[in-house]
């Protein structure tokens, strides 16, 4: 199938999408989801984040279905939205980290409750304890990623391991963190976000 036929097929699906045709939406999902998944996974670290963003991508497409121009490339449209969502994801991460860092450094700005401030003061020790519970290699990968800010590729080269191994270590480390933080206080949960 040449590019012209592909665009023509997409245009037909978009026209059906304009009419709220869920089957057309499903066809577009089947056609593009794997490609979008692979693209997103090159930018985000965790499987959970990739799946969440992929879901958000197709929810956005459904919500904006009547605005899609059938005369333009759906492929280009889809990846423009994908890039925007990736940028939004990182802007939110940076914003969250900055806010929570400020909360951790100056809790007295947000509460005069001594118990609240004391809990903040204990946060780093608790988090270090949880990190120290990770297996040695997983701990090393996690700290290189979260504390030193190295990319998965850089960690793989530094430790002479496969990039997939790095990703597996990070996914398992984050699952362990979530399990530990699940029963913890709201404040401790905020600190967890900071480490992400």
Identify the CATH number of the domain in which residue 155 sits.
1.10.10.10
Long-range contacts of 39-42 (CB under 8 A, 24+ apart): 39/79, 39/82, 40/82, 40/86
Q: Are residues 70 and 110 in the same domain?
A: no
Place of tokens 């984050």: 174
Q: What is the CA radius of gyration of the chain?
A: 21
Q: Are residues 132 and 171 in the same domain?
A: yes
The answer to whether residue 101 is domain-embedded is no
What are 23-66's pLDDT values in tens digits?
999 999 999 999 999 989 888 878 888 999 999 999 999 999 99
Structurally, the chain folds into a number of domains equal to 2
What global pTM score does this model have? 0.49
Q: Are residues 30 and 75 in the same domain?
A: yes
**The pLDDT of residue 113 is above 60:** no
CA angle 111, 115, 117 (to 5 degrees): 50
């Amino acid at each position: 199938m040449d590019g012209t036929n592909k665009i023509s097929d997409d245009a037909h699906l978009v026209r059906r999408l304009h009419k709220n045709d869920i089957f057309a939406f499903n066809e577009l999902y089947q056609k593009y989801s794997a490609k979008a998944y692979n693209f997103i996974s090159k930018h985000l670290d965790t499987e959970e984040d990739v799946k969440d963003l992929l879901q958000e991508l197709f929810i956005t497409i459904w919500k904006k279905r009547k605005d899609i121009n059938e005369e333009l490339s759906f492929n280009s449209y889809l990846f423009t939205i994908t890039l925007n969502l990736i940028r939004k994801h990182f802007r939110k991460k940076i914003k969250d980290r900055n806010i929570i860092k400020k909360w951790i450094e100056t809790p007295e700005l947000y509460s005069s409750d001594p118990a609240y401030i004391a809990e903040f003061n204990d946060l780093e020790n608790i988090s270090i304890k949880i990190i120290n519970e990770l297996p040695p290699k997983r701990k090393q990968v996690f700290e290189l990623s979260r504390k030193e800010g190295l990319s998965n590729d850089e960690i793989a080269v530094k430790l002479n391991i496969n990039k997939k191994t790095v990703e597996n270590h990070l996914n398992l480390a984050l699952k362990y963190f979530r399990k530990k933080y699940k029963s913890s206080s709201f404040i401790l949960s905020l600190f967890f976000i900071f480490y992400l």
